[in-house]
Amino acid sequence: MKARKGILFLTLLAGILSHAGSLYFLHGRSLTPGPLNFKKNIFSPSDYFQKEQELTEIFSYLTETPMVELKQQLHELTPECTPKTLSPVIAEQFLIEPGAKLVFELPESEQGEDLIHWEKSPLHDEPTESISFSATEPPKFDFIFGTENYDSFDGVIAESDHFTATVEYAPRRLRSGYVFKITFHPKSDIAFKRIRQNYFFLVDRSNSISRSRYFNNKKAVSSALSLLQPGDTFNILIFDNRVTRLADKPLPFAEETLVFAKDFLDKQGHGGHFAATDLYASLGKIIPHDVSEKEVNTAILLSDGDTYLTLEKQRQIIGRWTIRNRGKVALFSLASGCGNNLPLLDLISTFNKGSLLYASTHEEVEDKLTRLITTVQNPIGKNMRATAISGDPQNLIQLQPKNMRSPELYQNRPFVVWGTTNRLTPFTLFLQGDYYDRRFDIKKKITFDTAQNGTLSMEREWTRLLAQEHYEQYFIDGKLAHLEAAKQLLSPLNLPVPLLKP
């Protein structure tokens, strides 16, 4: 009996020592007695989540190739090629597990000691309204938006003499008539009054984005921030199945906010293998809608356009968001590498006064984004409208893009009007826009006598813009006949057809 008690005692003692040794190995620190130290060692999140993140990194790397295959199956449009498997990039330390929220407690018996524990909240299919895991609050500014007297801004409001216009035309290949392109170039020696601009950088870190691509995108945004202008504001939103914001409201461009934003970006790791999301289902959460309609609002989306939504869901969500946006926010999309849904990204961008930019490698993203910011950093007009008036009643002229999709006017970016005509007779083109509450007019006499000869690419661009009329109707009533009509326009010119599988 004594021998059995001795064996039982030794077994119990070995179990206790084994448990203590396991805790020492996991947390890398001595388990000193006392309730406060015990809480610090057992429940402190930093070491635990650091080790868990390292295991997640290894697991994600080992399973990267199967995810690429899964991503191909989820694409509504089959990508031309798939990303190559890249060596893993070690993410930042102390990443916060998706779905966790930070809770601070200060027990009365332990004043002066901050105890931290973590509570798990269920994951959501769509991002929450506002989540920020920033360790510090953004800098405070005595800054009231929309209160400047824009009459005091240096420069002049746009007029006809401030622009040159070049004309190109070419015979239509599939129909009678001609397609033309009129490009307005702001003169370099004119100092225009600029409209204040509000930037929103939207960075996708879901599992369809490789780690190397995500970190190159973050680097590009960090570099581009220094190109903003005094008076501008900005915000950064990182999204997967949740949204992490730099700040609840856009921050003014200043040295302090730049430092704060770059520190925020450095701390945002990749979402990981299980961070799935759908970009289009999240449009209403990541792209702001409560913005000033008198200022220029620019959203720059860095994503692959991946979606698992059905065709009908895509129609409902994209159409509903576009109608709600009403051109208040210009959307520019930036994609890189392979495995992108480029036709859909291009459609939603051009539908909302922006455009799609593409970089063949992830490393080129920084240069592409820098060039974009440089061209749009000085907006001089918005709500642009083009009207053609001809003295020849037999001259039939159509213009694109439609006024609701017409981009803003920028000092460093040519403004292009596309059109078709059945006769090469002169006409007058009026370009109207708004500078805050003031309206301006740019009037140009268009002739084809000295116009340049265009190429087939002109008809391709015109056809792509014309097809948007069918997509607009499809978003409204959901009839597939509109998609077929768009396909009949695009397919003969080997143009991709958004929302339809090849």
Quick: pLDDT tens for 349-394: 999 999 999 999 999 999 999 999 999 999 999 999 999 999 999 9
Alpha helices in 240-341 (DSSP H): 255-267, 283-286, 311-325
- 278: pLDDT confidence band, cut at 50, 70 and 90? confident
Q: Is the pLDDT of residue 411 over 60?
A: yes
Residue 235 β-bridge partners: 200
Cβ contacts of residue 277 below 8 Å, gap of 6+? 127, 204, 206, 239, 240, 241
The average pLDDT across 3-27 equals: 61
The average pLDDT across 163-191 equals: 95
Q: Which pLDDT does position 122 carry in this prediction?
A: 36
- The answer to whether the CB of 101 falls within 8 A of the CB of 119 is yes
> For the segment 225-257, what is each residue's pLDDT rounded down to a tens digit?
999 999 999 999 999 888 899 999 999 999 999
Q: Which pLDDT does position 188 carry in this prediction?
A: 93
Between 107-111, 285-289, 291-295, 452-456, the lowest mean confidence (pLDDT) is in 107-111
Q: Which pLDDT does position 146 carry in this prediction?
A: 45
**Short-list 65, 63, 68, CA closest to 81:** 68
Between 82-91, 206-215, 469-478, 486-495, the lowest mean confidence (pLDDT) is in 82-91
Q: Which pLDDT does position 1 carry in this prediction?
A: 56
More confident residue, 470 or 277: 470
**Short-list 135, 138, 119, 101, CA closest to 268:** 135
Q: Burial of 88 by CB count in 10 Å (0-12 exposed, 13-18 middle, 19+ buried)? A: middle
Q: Burial of 104 by CB count in 10 Å (0-12 exposed, 13-18 middle, 19+ buried)? A: exposed
User: Could you tell me the strand order of the sheet in which 178-186 lies?
Assistant: 397-400, 415-421, 178-186, 163-171, 452-453
- 294: pLDDT confidence band, cut at 50, 70 and 90? very high
Give CA–CA dist 93/45, Å, rounded: 12
User: Which CATH superfamily is 150-192+379-454 part of?
Assistant: Gamma-adaptin ear (GAE) domain (2.60.40.1230)
Q: Which pLDDT does position 499 carry in this prediction?
A: 86
> For the segment 472-483, what is each residue's pLDDT rounded down to a tens digit?
999 999 999 999
Q: Which pLDDT does position 385 carry in this prediction?
A: 96
Q: Which pLDDT does position 195 carry in this prediction?
A: 96
Q: Burial of 391 by CB count in 10 Å (0-12 exposed, 13-18 middle, 19+ buried)? A: exposed
| Helix (H), strand (E) at residue 56 | helix 45-62
3-class DSSP assignment, residue 206 = coil
Neighbouring CB atoms inside 10 A of 81's CB total: 10
- 317: pLDDT confidence band, cut at 50, 70 and 90? confident
**Domain boundary assignment for the chain:** 18-120, 150-192+379-454
**Short-list 183, 181, 184, 176, CA closest to 423:** 176
More confident residue, 108 or 219: 219
Three-state DSSP string of 445-486: EECCCCCEECCHHHHHHHHHHHHHHHHHHHHHHCCHHHHHHH
3-class DSSP assignment, residue 361 = coil
